[in-house]
Every structure is written in structure tokens, then in C-alpha cells.
Amino acid sequence: MKNGLKKIKIAITGGIGSGKSQAAKFIKELGFAVFSCDEIYKDIILSSKYITQVKKRIPECVIDNQIDKKILAKIVFADTKRRKDLNNIAHPMIMDELLSAMKNAPTKLVFAEVPLLFEGQYENLFDFVIVIQRDITQRMESVKIRDGMSEEEIVSRMQSQFDYSKIKDLKFFENEKFIVIDNSGTLTELEKKLISIVNRLNLLT
């Protein structure tokens, strides 16, 4: 298949600790092109264009012309306005890079892990959205183990994100483009669910 042909763009999203990265990993192992907003951001945060813009809005997190990610995170998760300022800088840059990469992917079904999909109102840029749901206790335990965060820090992150319990209230949900996965079980169960969904998407498209 030539890269210029239409791709079916599928977002993978969910709250912190839901298991969306694991879901993306499983799908990649099935042979599909999978991209990550977090990975794209790792490059963008080093760019002079991004650093210059952040320095204008949140100067205290830029030290020796480099962004201190710990200081930045502490500031933006404690201040809604400054978090919004940062998102207004970062999100358009990330999405431009992401959509360009997806357009040139080698597979018809192209997946992207997009943590702040609904916060940025980007859901309509995708043909389908896979939402990974998980019990909040499991999510908190997962993040504690993975990132070494305190419970207070995790709660702060969760409160800054979209409330996934309200997902069915979104108009986009009416378009039947949402695919919600319960990830409260084992990794094997998650993998089986994803294989079933990918097979269904192949048939639909």
C-alpha cells in the first residue's frame, strides 16, 4: 500500500494509569503503525522554538536554556491557568507532528496514543477512538509503581484530566466511533480484547 492512500486513524486514550501504553504496545506487536504523543513531546521539549515560547509564559522552569521537567510539572499541575498556557503551546506542535507521521505510515490502520485527546478536543481528528478504562484503585497503584509518585501527586494529575466516567455524554459517542475497553483484568485479557477490536476494525474498513 502506498503511503499517499487514505489511512484510518485510531486514537488510543484513557486516564493516567489506565493501561493505554500497554494497549499501544500490544497493537504495535500485531504489526500496525503506532505513534505516541508522549514520544513526540520528548523531541519537542528540546526544540528551541518550544523552549522560547515556554520561557515567555513559565520562565522559572527554564534553566540554562533547557526546560526542567520536574519544575514544569510541579507548576502546571498546581495552576490551571499556567497548565492551559502550556497546553496551548505544546498541543498544536504535538498534533502537527503526529498527524504528519500518521499520514505517512505504512499501514492502513494507524494508531496513536493520545493522553489528552478530549482535553484538547482532538477526538474529531480520528476515525475511531479506543478508550482504556480501569478501576481507579488499580490506576493509582500502577502509577505509584511506574513513576514513584505520591498519592497526592497522582490525585492532582487525575483531577487535571478529562473525567472518563462522563464519556457517554459526549456527542462524539453517538457516532459509534468510540470503543471502550475495560482493563480491570489481566494483560492476557487486555491483549485478547485488542485483537478482537483490531480484527473488527479491519473488517469495517
The strand pair at 8-13 and 62-63 is best described as unpaired
The pLDDT tens digits of the residues spanning 146-182 come to 888 888 888 888 888 888 777 766 655 556 788 989 9
Buried b (16+ CB within 10 A) or exposed e, 7-43: bbbbbbbbbbbbbbbbbbbbbeeeebbbbbbeebbee
Q: What is the DSSP string of 115-184?
A: TTTTTTT-GGGSSEEEEEE--HHHHHHHHHHHH---HHHHHHHHHHS--GGGGGGSGGGGGT-EEEEE-S
Q: How confident is the model at residue 78 (pLDDT cuts 50, 70, 90)?
A: confident
Instruction: Identify residue 66 by its one-letter amino acid code.
Output: Q
Q: How confident is the model at residue 145 (pLDDT cuts 50, 70, 90)?
A: confident
What structural domains and CATH numbers belong to the chain? 8-199 (3.40.50.300)
Instruction: Identify residue 190 by its one-letter amino acid code.
Output: L
How much is the pLDDT for 205?
A: 67
Instruction: Identify residue 168 by its one-letter amino acid code.
Output: K
Strand partners, 35: 112
Q: Say if CB 125 and CB 95 are below 8 A apart.
A: yes
Q: What is the DSSP string of 27-66?
A: HHHTT-EEEEHHHHHHHHTTSHHHHHHHHHH-GGGEETTE
Higher pLDDT, 169 or 132: 132
Average pLDDT, the chain: 89
Q: Say if CB 155 and CB 204 are below 8 A apart.
A: no
pTM of the model: 0.86
C-alpha 113/C-alpha 23 separation (Å) is 9
